[in-house]
Amino acid sequence: MIRNCAGAFNVVYSLFSDLRFSVNGSRSRLNPLPCVDMDVFTLSATANGDAAAAIQEALDAGRPVVITAGTYRIERTILLPSGARIEALDGAVIRLADGACRERDDYLLKNANPAEGDADIEVSGGVWDGNNRGNPRPDGLFADGYTGTMFHFENVDGLRVANLVMQNAEAYHLRATAVRNFTIESIAFASECVRHNNDGIHLGGECSDGVIRDIVGLHAGVTADDLVALNADDALDRNEVRGMRSGPIRRLRIEHLRAEGCHCFVRLLSVYSPIEDVEICDVEGTCTGSAINCDAARGCRVPVFDEADPPFANGVGLLKNVTVRRIRVAKSVADASPLLRLETRCSVFVVEQFTREHDESPDTPTVRIQHVPGTRVTVDGESFVAGDDSFVSHAGTVGRLTLEP
């Protein structure tokens, strides 16, 4: 599945016969700059200073930015206004400087106008390095300061992030909240120093109409948390979550995920706000926790709701019209978490072609369904109504599983 090659950047990963993701080896598949009359700003590694200043000046002037091969130091947050485009060519490494991120609104890059909103932003190519050793989060779950996030997008209509490597994040690699009409594709994650809360692609509330595809961890243990997270609700006062929103998440397609020893492939976190019309397809690899996690953050250090008093009579959250298919996963360590963890109210939740490979935790359930009393569950043709007890299956394959009101 995953081929590890010598060197942090000399990695070639093949997802399908028609897709080859490479770094410093061959040209990446980028859309060419449009053939219109525009003044493209080309950044080359000819100076040792802060590259952010030159990039920002070009973006503020409405110029597309092309970053050529070389290593660039970023000493302040790059702000992307509407229409911004950054294309990093093969061999370009954009690295956060030591001490560049200290405050809650510091990032490697973010959109410029979250209050009024931005539109039509694209970032593609290159290796983007969060330099987590040089930019630590403050101590404490609720401490004010750097959140550890590399890319942050809020209130954007039209976003594309593609064909790049993100590495050495202090917490989340890419966050998006209130983002609409977006594509996040061909993203690889790596880390020389894996941190807690190392989500890959993390969506908060009010995100809709998006595609997330061709996402890969380049070596074992990456990402150390959720490879893809859909958090319609969250503990918004936690350090790494500050700046996000709660709210519905709707109309997403997530496909072609690969990792070895990540914590979780896809989290769907709904407590008050619904997650609707989501398709998850083609997931392969191993994980330390659950492959698909719908636990409503039960047991987290900062709870999102009072488990003794859930917000609805029959549980929490709502997963509506969600389909999960073609999943081939296994546990990489001995752990009690089931591969498919369903603890959220559902209105048509379908799992098809779920296969559990030989793994390191054979006594752990494949499927566990609980905290959804009154839900009609059908597993490979056998139906029952969920009660107060848990349903557990150790089956190696699940052909079709449905949860309905």
Per-residue pLDDT band for 32 (boundaries 50, 70, 90) equals: very low
Residue 13 has pLDDT above 60, yes or no: no
Report the alpha-carbon distance of residue 90 to residue 124 in Å, rounded: 11
pLDDT the model gives residue 47: 64
Polymer length of the chain: 405
Tokens standing for 90?
A: 């093969």
Q: Do residues 199 and 185 lie in contact, with contact meaning Cβ atoms separated by under 8 Å? A: no
Question: What secondary structure letter does DSSP report for 221?
Answer: T
Read off the pLDDT of each residue in 190-202 and give the average, rounded to a whole number. 95
Report the alpha-carbon distance of residue 72 to residue 141 in Å, rounded: 32
In sequence order, the 6+-apart residues with CB closer than 8 A to the CB of 387 are 373
Answer with the residue of higher pLDDT: 240 or 196: 240
Read off the pLDDT of each residue in 259-276 and give the average, rounded to a whole number. 99
pLDDT the model gives residue 27: 31
Residue 329 CA: distances (Å) to CA of 36, 56, 190, 260, 262:
46, 43, 20, 9, 11
Read off the pLDDT of each residue in 103-116 and give the average, rounded to a whole number. 98
Average pLDDT taken over every residue of the chain: 91
Helix %, strand %, coil % of the chain (to 5): 5, 45, 50
pLDDT the model gives residue 36: 35
- The residue assigned the tokens 């709701």 is 305
Per-residue pLDDT band for 123 (boundaries 50, 70, 90) equals: very high
- Please give the model's pTM, rounded to 2 decimal places: 0.91
**Domains within the chain, CATH numbers bracketed:** 21-404 (2.160.20.10)
Residue 20 has pLDDT above 50, yes or no: no
Residue 3 has pLDDT above 70, yes or no: no
Report the alpha-carbon distance of residue 266 to residue 22 in Å, rounded: 24
Alpha-carbon dihedral angle through residues 77, 79, 85, 90, given to the nearest 10 degrees = 0
Residue 22 has pLDDT above 50, yes or no: no
Residue 37 has pLDDT above 60, yes or no: no
Residue 9 has pLDDT above 90, yes or no: no
Q: Can you list the positions of beta strands (E) in 130-173? A: 151-167
Return the exposure string of 151-188: e unless at least 16 CB atoms fall within 10 Å of the residue's CB, then b. Answer: bbbbbbbbbbbbbbbbbbbbbbbbbbbbbbbbbbbbbb
Per-residue pLDDT band for 322 (boundaries 50, 70, 90) equals: very high
pLDDT the model gives residue 388: 86
Per-residue pLDDT band for 26 (boundaries 50, 70, 90) equals: very low
Share of the chain above pLDDT 90, in %: 87
pLDDT the model gives residue 54: 96
Read off the pLDDT of each residue in 205-220 and give the average, rounded to a whole number. 98
Q: Do residues 209 and 249 lie in contact, with contact meaning Cβ atoms separated by under 8 Å? A: no
Report the alpha-carbon distance of residue 196 to residue 225 in Å, rounded: 7
pLDDT digits (tens, 9 = 90+) for 324-354: 999 999 999 999 999 999 999 999 999 999 9
Q: Can you list the positions of beta strands (E) in 168-207? A: 174-190, 201-203
Question: What secondary structure letter does DSSP report for 91?
Answer: T
Read off the pLDDT of each residue in 380-393 and give the average, rounded to a whole number. 94
pLDDT the model gives residue 17: 29
pLDDT the model gives residue 6: 30
pLDDT the model gives residue 188: 99
pLDDT the model gives residue 46: 74
Return the minimum-mean-pLDDT range out of 33-47, 100-114, 148-162: 33-47
Share of the chain above pLDDT 70, in %: 90
